[in-house]
C-alpha cells in the first residue's frame, strides 16, 4: 500500500469506507512523522543520518535525575563518557553483544590496581574535551562521582551496588589522574564504573546552573546535557523527538559512522510497521511482540531479537498493605496468572517462560507456579477472602504494546477467582516516579539488572533496606542476609548455595510473580549494520553503520 494512496478520497459506498477505515487509522498514526519522512526523499540526502522510531523516549537527559526512565539511559549512554566500557563479543549465531567479563578504556586510557588491592588509579586521556570545548579533568570525574553517591535514589543505590558510597573514596591526584579507594573487596566495583550512572559531567558547566537549593544542578541537567560523549543532543522535544549530532572531537573510541540520529516516538505499532516496511525509517527499536511477528511474516526488514540477561516481566504485589501482605493471597494470584495465554497472545512466544517448573539451572529461573484456578480459589479462601476483593492493576503506558495485553489477560483471570481489578494506565514519563512511591497495590512491570549476577538482581529487587526497585516493599531479613553474603562470597560452593536459598525464599513468598524473560527486538533496513546488544537495553549509535 502506498503512503500517498491514503490521501485519495473515499468512494461513497459504505463497503469501501469500511475497507478504508484501517488505512485512515494508520494515516492518523503517521501524521506526526510526515515531517520526518521528508528527510527520506533520496538515499543520498540521508546517508549520514539514521532515522529511528521507538514506542517512547527519554523523560530526562540526566540519568541521575529522580524518575529518569529507561530511554533516558540511552540518552546518557550516547552523550556522556564513562571511565571504562565493556568489550564486545560475537555469539555463535553471529549476533554481537557486550562482554560483561571484560572492561576496556573509554575516558580513562589506563588503570592500575594497587598492590594491596585497596584502590585503583585511573589515567585520563589528556586530549579529552566536553561538548563545549572545556578540557576534561580529574576534578570533573570526582564531581560526577560525588554527585552520584550523594543525590540519593537510583544513582546513589547503583553506586552502592559496587561499594561506591562516599565522596571520600574519590581523590584527585593531578589534573589527569583520579584515585578510587575501595571500601571492601567487591567484584562489582570496577564493573559498576562502566554502567550509565557512572557518567562524567562537565562540572564547570553544571556548577554555573547550580543554586543553594539545587547544588547539583538537577533542574538544569534534566533538560540540558553537560557531557563529552560521542553524540550531542541537538534538540529534544519530550514525548516527540530527540535529535543527536556526532561530536567531532570525541576521542574515546573509533569515530562513529553516523553523523546525525533522529529518534522519533511513535506509540502506534501499526505505524511503526508501516514505516519500516516502506523503508521510510532505518530502525524500529524495542518493538512489540506482535509487530515482530507481523514483520517476520512480511520479510520486509531484518529482525534481531536478543534475550535480556538478568531480567523478567512480572506481576508485583505491595506486601506492605492488605490484602497483599498475606502470603496466601500472593500465592493465589501466582496460581491464577494465565501464563500460557500471556506467552501466546501477549508476547507471541517471544520470551523465555519463567513458570511451570522448568529445570534449567540458569538465572532467571522458572517458578513452579502454573495456572490452577481451583488452587488459587482455595488459597484465597484460606487467606480470608473467599469472595475475593477489589484493587487496581497498574502498568506503564509507555510500554503498552506488551503491558496492556498482559494486563487484560491478568484482569480476566483474576476475576475468575473473585479479584476485581480496575486497570490504571500510567504515562511512560511518570511511570518511574510512580514505581518509586511504592504505593501501587498490584502492577505489571519488567526489571533487569545491569550487571549479570543473580545477587545483583536480588540486591535491587528484593533487598528490604530501601532497595530502589523493591517495588513490592518486600521485607525479609533472612533474604537480606543471603543477598549481602553472596555479594562478597569467594567460595564457589557457598555462593551457589546462597543463590539457591535466595531463589527458594523469593519464589515461596512470591512478592513478584515472574512471567517471562524478555527479548529486546529491532527491525532494520538491509543497509544497516553494527547493532550491538547492551545490558541497558538501549541503542548505542556509535557502532551503527549505513552501507
Sequential DSSP letters for 394-414: EEEGGGHHHHHHHHHHHHHHH
Together in a domain, 213 and 347: no
Together in a domain, 376 and 499: yes
Q: Give how many domains the chain has, as a whole number.
A: 2
- Residue 64 and residue 131: Cα distance in Å, rounded? 19
Together in a domain, 318 and 189: no
Q: Is the pLDDT of residue 3 over 50?
A: no
Find the mean pLDDT for residues 370-379: 98
Give the CATH number for residue 115.
3.90.76.10
Model pLDDT for residues 476-493, shown as the tens digit of each residue: 999 999 999 999 999 999
Q: Is residue 417 part of a domain?
A: yes
User: What pLDDT, on a 0 to 100 scale, did the predictor assign at position 466?
Assistant: 67
Together in a domain, 201 and 337: no
Together in a domain, 323 and 199: no
Model pLDDT for residues 256-312, shown as the tens digit of each residue: 999 999 999 999 999 999 999 999 999 999 999 999 999 999 999 999 999 999 999
Together in a domain, 196 and 335: no
Kindly state the DSSP code that residue 168 receives in the 8-state scheme.
G
**pLDDT band for position 385 (cuts 50, 70, 90):** very high
Establish how many alpha carbons lie within 13 A of residue 297's alpha carbon, considering only the half-sphere containing its beta carbon: 7
Of 202, 218, 234, which residue sits at a domain end? 218
- Residue 385 and residue 372: Cα distance in Å, rounded? 17
Q: Is the pLDDT of residue 442 over 70?
A: yes
User: What pLDDT, on a 0 to 100 scale, did the predictor assign at position 305?
Assistant: 95
User: What pLDDT, on a 0 to 100 scale, did the predictor assign at position 465?
Assistant: 83
Give the CATH number for residue 381.
3.10.105.10
Q: Is residue 65 part of a domain?
A: no
Together in a domain, 514 and 372: yes
Together in a domain, 456 and 334: yes
Q: Is residue 475 part of a domain?
A: yes
Q: Is residue 122 part of a domain?
A: yes
Determine the angle formed by the axes of helices 289-298 and 400-415, rounding to 10 degrees: 120
Look-up of cell digits 543553594:
212
Together in a domain, 476 and 334: yes
Together in a domain, 474 and 346: yes
Burial (CB count <10 Å: 0-12, 13-18, 19+), residue 359: exposed
Q: H helices then E strands: how many in the chain?
A: 18, 20
Q: Is residue 393 part of a domain?
A: yes
- Residue 338 and residue 411: Cα distance in Å, rounded? 10
Model pLDDT for residues 157-170, shown as the tens digit of each residue: 999 999 999 999 99
User: What pLDDT, on a 0 to 100 scale, did the predictor assign at position 359?
Assistant: 65
Together in a domain, 203 and 327: no
User: What pLDDT, on a 0 to 100 scale, did the predictor assign at position 77?
Assistant: 98
- Residue 460 and residue 172: Cα distance in Å, rounded? 30
Model pLDDT for residues 310-365, shown as the tens digit of each residue: 999 999 999 999 999 999 999 999 999 999 999 999 999 999 999 998 666 789 99
Together in a domain, 441 and 329: yes
- Domain of residue 136 covers 81-218
Q: Is residue 306 part of a domain?
A: no
Model pLDDT for residues 226-246, shown as the tens digit of each residue: 999 999 999 999 999 999 999
Q: Is the pLDDT of residue 66 over 50?
A: yes
Q: Is residue 68 part of a domain?
A: no
Q: What is the mean pLDDT of the chain?
A: 91
Q: Is residue 193 part of a domain?
A: yes
Q: Is the pLDDT of residue 100 over 60?
A: yes
pTM confidence score:
0.87
CB of 79 within 8 A of CB of 232?
Answer: yes
Q: Is the pLDDT of residue 27 over 90?
A: no
Amino acid at each position: 500500500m502506498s503512503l500517498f494512496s491514503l490521501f485519495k478520497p473515499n468512494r461513497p459506498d459504505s463497503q469501501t469506507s469500511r475497507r478504508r477505515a484501517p488505512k485512515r487509522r494508520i494515516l492518523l498514526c503517521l501524521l506526526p512523522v510526515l515531517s520526518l519522512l521528508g528527510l527520506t526523499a533520496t538515499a543520498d540526502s540521508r546517508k549520514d543520518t539514521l532515522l529511528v522510531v521507538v514506542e517512547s523516549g527519554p523523560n530526562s537527559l540526566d540519568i541521575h535525575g529522580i524518575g529518569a526512565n529507561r530511554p533516558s539511559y540511552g540518552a546518557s549512554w550516547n552523550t556522556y563518557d564513562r571511565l571504562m566500557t565493556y568489550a564486545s563479543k560475537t555469539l555463535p549465531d553471529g549476533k554481537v553483544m557486550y562482554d560483561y567479563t571484560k572492561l576496556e578504556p573509554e575516558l580513562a586510557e589506563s588503570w592500575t590496581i594497587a598492590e594491596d588491592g585497596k584502590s585503583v588509579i585511573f589515567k585520563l586521556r589528556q586530549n579529552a574535551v566536553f561538548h563545549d570545548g572545556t578540557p576534561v579533568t580529574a576534578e570533573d570525574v570526582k564531581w560526577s562521582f560525588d554527585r552520584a553517591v550523594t543525590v540519593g535514589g537510583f544513582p546513589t543505590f547503583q553506586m552502592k551496588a559496587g561499594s561506591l558510597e562516599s565522596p571520600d573514596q574519590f581523590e584527585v591526584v593531578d589534573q589527569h589522574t583520579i584515585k578510587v579507594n575501595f571500601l571492601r573487596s567487591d567484584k562489582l566495583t570496577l564493573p559498576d564504573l562502566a554502567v550509565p550512572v557512572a557518567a562524567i559531567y562537565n562540572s564547570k558547566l553544571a556548577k554555573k546552573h547550580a543554586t543553594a537549593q539545587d547544588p547539583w544542578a538537577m533542574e538544569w541537567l534534566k533538560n540540558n546535557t553537560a557531557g563529552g560523549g560521542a553524540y550531542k543532543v541537538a534538540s529534544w522535544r519530550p514525548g516527540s523527538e530527540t535529535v543527536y549530532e556526532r561530536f567531532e572531537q570525541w576521542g574515546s573510541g573509533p569515530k562513529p559512522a553516523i553523523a546525525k540520529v533522529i529518534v522519533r516516538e511513535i506509540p502506534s505499532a501499526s505505524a511503526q510497521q508501516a514505516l519500516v516496511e516502506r523503508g521510510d525509517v532505518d530502525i524500529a527499536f524495542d518493538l512489540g511482540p506482535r509487530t515482530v511477528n507481523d514483520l517476520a511474516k512480511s520479510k520486509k526488514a531484518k529482525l534481531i531479537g536478543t534475550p535480556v540477561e538478568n531480567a523478567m516481566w512480572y506481576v508485583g504485589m505491595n506486601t506492605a498493605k492488605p490484602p497483599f501482605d498475606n502470603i496466601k493471597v500472593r500465592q493465589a494470584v501466582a496460581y491464577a496468572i494465565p501464563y500460557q495465554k500471556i506467552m501466546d497472545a501477549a508476547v507471541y512466544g517471544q520470551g523465555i517462560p519463567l513458570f511451570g517448573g522448568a529445570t534449567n539451572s540458569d538465572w532467571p529461573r522458572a517458578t513452579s507456579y502454573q495456572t490452577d484456578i481451583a488452587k488459587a480459589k482455595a488459597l484465597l479462601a484460606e487467606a480470608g477472602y473467599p469472595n475475593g476483593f477489589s484493587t487496581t492493576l497498574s502498568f506503564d503506558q509507555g510500554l503498552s504494546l506488551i503491558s496492556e495485553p498482559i494486563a487484560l489477560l491478568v484482569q480476566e483471570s483474576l476475576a475468575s477467582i473473585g479479584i476485581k481489578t480496575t486497570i490504571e494506565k500510567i504515562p511512560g514519563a511518570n511511570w518511574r516516579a510512580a514505581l518509586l512511591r511504592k504505593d501501587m497495590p498490584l502492577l505489571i512491570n519488567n526489571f533487569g539488572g545491569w550487571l549479570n549476577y543473580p545477587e545483583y538482581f536480588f540486591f535491587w529487587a528484593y533487598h528490604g533496606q530501601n532497595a530502589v526497585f523493591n517495588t513490592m516493599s518486600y521485607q525479609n531479613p533472612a533474604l537480606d542476609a543471603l543477598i549481602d553474603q553472596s555479594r562478597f562470597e569467594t567460595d564457589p560452593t557457598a555462593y551457589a548455595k546462597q543463590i539457591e536459598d535466595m531463589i527458594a525464599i523469593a519464589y515461596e513468598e512470591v512478592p513478584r510473580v515472574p512471567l517471562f524473560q524478555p527479548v529486546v527486538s529491532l527491525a532494520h533496513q538491509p543497509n544497516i549494520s553494527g547493532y550491538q546488544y547492551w545490558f541497558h537495553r538501549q541503542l548505542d549509535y556509535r557502532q551503527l553503520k549505513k552501507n
